[in-house]
């Protein structure tokens, strides 16, 4: 739970400052998530532009 003093101070901020606080906290959370979740990219095979595979499949089905 947030301390009442902090909540009171946040409520006194103007709109722009409140948005800055939100942005700051969101950026910190995103940075923490990056270190927690290792972002890995995987290549995904797609049947598009795979005419050779389609031909092989047709031969197997015949």
- pTM attached to this predicted model: 0.51
The whole-number pLDDT of residue 39 equals: 66
DSSP 13: S
pLDDT value, residue 51: 81
What SS3 class is residue 41? coil
Quote the pLDDT of residue 41.
80
Looking up tokens 């942005």 gives 23
Into how many domains does the chain fold?
1
Rounded to whole angstroms, the Cα distance separating 50 from 53 reads 5
**Domain with 21 in it:** 4-61
Rounded CA gap, 62 and 55, in Å? 11
d(CA 51, CA 54): 5
Kindly list the averaged pLDDT for each block of 10 residues, start to end, along the chain of length 62: 89 96 93 73 79 85 91
Q: Taking all residues of the chain, what is their mean pLDDT, rounded to a whole number?
A: 86
**pLDDT of 1:** 64
């Amino acid at each position: 739970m947030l301390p009442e003093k902090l909540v009171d101070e946040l409520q006194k901020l103007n709109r722009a400052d409140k948005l800055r606080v939100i942005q700051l906290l969101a950026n910190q959370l995103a940075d923490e998530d990056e270190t927690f979740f290792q972002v890995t990219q995987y290549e995904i095979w797609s049947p598009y532009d795979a005419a050779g595979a389609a031909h092989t499949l047709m031969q197997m089905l015949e």
